[in-house]
Structure formats: C-alpha cells, structure tokens
Amino acid sequence: MNRHSLTAIIWKRFLKNRLAVAGGIVVAALVLLAVFAPFIAPYSPNDIDRRHILEPPGSRHLLGTDDLGRDVLSRMIWGARISLAVGFVAVGIATCIGIVFGAFAGYYGGWADRIITRFIDIMLTIPTFFLILTVIAFIGSSIWNIMVVIGLTSWMGVARLVRAEFLTLKERDYVLAARALGAGNMRIIFRHIMINSMAPVLVSSVLGIAGAVLLESSLSFLGIGVQPPTPTWGNILTLGKDNIEIAWWLSVFPGLAILITVLGYNLLGEGVRDSIDPRLWDTERK
C-alpha cells in the first residue's frame, strides 16, 4: 500500500465519522474567527460606551454589553484569538519537550530510560493546576508567561506516548538496516523512527489544545491568567460571576464558547485517532 492510498483510506474513514467532521468544522470555524477577528468583530473589543452599560442582547449588541458598555460579541471574537493562541503555543512547547524526552528514553533505554521515566513520574505526582498557580505567582501572568508555563507543565503525556512508540519501533527491520548501513543515532531517531511515531502524538496534541484552552480560561476566570483589558473567555466569565443576577449573558455566552471549543477539539481528536489506527480497521472488518 503506497502513501497516497493510505492517506485516501484515512481521509475516507474520517469523513465517515460524522462527529469527527462536526468537530473539524467547529475547529476550522474557530480558527477562521480568530484569524479574521479584526474584520468580523462589529466593534473594537475595548470600546467603552457608558450609555449602554449591561445592555441585554439586542439588535445593537447581539450578545449584549458588559459593565463598561463594551460589546460582548466583539470581546468574545477577540477572546477566541487569545484562547486559541495559548492552546497552539502551549501544546507546541509541550509536544516538543515530550518528543525529546520520550525519544531519548525509548531509544537508549537503560539508565537514560530509568532517569527520564522517574522524572516523568515525579512530575505526574504534582497537581498541574497548583504548580501553574505557583509559577505564575512568581513570574507574573502575561499571555506569554501563561503559554510557556502551560507548555512546561503539560509534556509528560506526550513523552510517555513517544517512549512507548520508540520501544516498539527501534527493533523494526528498517531501523536495524539503517544501523547496519552506518546511520548514526540522531539520524535513526529523527529520520527513521520519529516519522513513524507521530500518529499518537498528533492525536494527543489535538486533545491537548482543548485542555490548554480550558486551563487558560480557568486561570483568567480566577484573575491570574491573561489580564484585562485583553479579552479572553475566562475574564468575561469573571464579569458574569460578578453580575450573575442582572446580566446572565456574561456567563452564558462565554461558557458556551468554551464548551463548544473543548467539545470540538475532543471530537476531532477522537476522530483522527479512529481514522489512523489500523487496529480499529481490523476490528471493523471482523
């Protein structure tokens, strides 16, 4: 089976999964919304209009206004850009770190595997959310700090996946042949094994973006994430908490945005996993 036919099979299986396709549509819509936020948002996210403070949804402001008269729809559209940027950058950092640790642990084995595995186990025993809170308390809560901290505390799952793949793949015939031809360890790791171990990493990364978006929203909701006036779904929710009795829209709409985003990424990730896993192909044939 050549690469083009394999890609066609994976794509065909993905399109058969309606939930996965729905998740992909949601993710694509969110990405487009974030990229074209300056052109889609009806108002500037920080424009203050004191004549329309806490105005309910209507023709002038489709999702209402907040306690400063700012348009909630515009702030949510710009907030999508912040939330997705945090998700992509944080997961990118976590994936790179996890790949390096997992590859070296799985390929070299022995004392390198034992040290890295023990380090991963130690990191997994520390509650990630409280670790992030502690780090942010020391270094501050700018958007870049949030991205880096989430990435530095979320790589362990990727490392374990890559380690497991390397333990299996390093004994394959093509690896032994490359070694017999004189290929160095770095060439074998990054040229021969890494390419064939990316499928579970891709799935983990897609699911990880949902977790990063949820984590950033939680931090912003608590007031220690991205700081106002920069709009994020989390700090819009904070305003909703303070005005829950008179401005329900400040809680409902950003909450739905977070729910739909996380659900969309989870459905997409599970659909990608089902499409690229050959073991599931055999199960369906039976």
Query: What is the pLDDT confidence band of residue 99, given thresholds at 50, 70 and 90?
Result: very high
Mean pLDDT value of segment 258-266: 93
| Residue given tokens 């036919």 in the structure block | 5
Amino acid at the residue 221: F
Task: Provide CATH code, domain 3-285.
Answer: 1.10.3720.10
* Residue 270 reports pLDDT greater than 70: yes
* Banded pLDDT at 3 (limits 50, 70, 90): low
Does residue 102 have a pLDDT over 80?
yes
pLDDT in tens, 29-54: 999 998 999 999 999 998 888 888 89
d(CA 26, CA 21): 9
Position 221 scores a pLDDT of 86
Task: Express as a percent the part of the chain with pLDDT over 70.
Answer: 94
How many whole angstroms separate alpha carbon 95 and alpha carbon 79?
Answer: 24
Residue spans per domain, the chain: 3-285
Per-residue pLDDT at 28 exceeds 80: yes
| Average pLDDT taken over every residue of the chain | 86
DSSP 57: S
Q: Residue 1: pLDDT above 70? A: no
* pLDDT tens track for 191-214: 888 888 888 888 889 889 988 888
Q: How many residues does the chain have?
A: 286
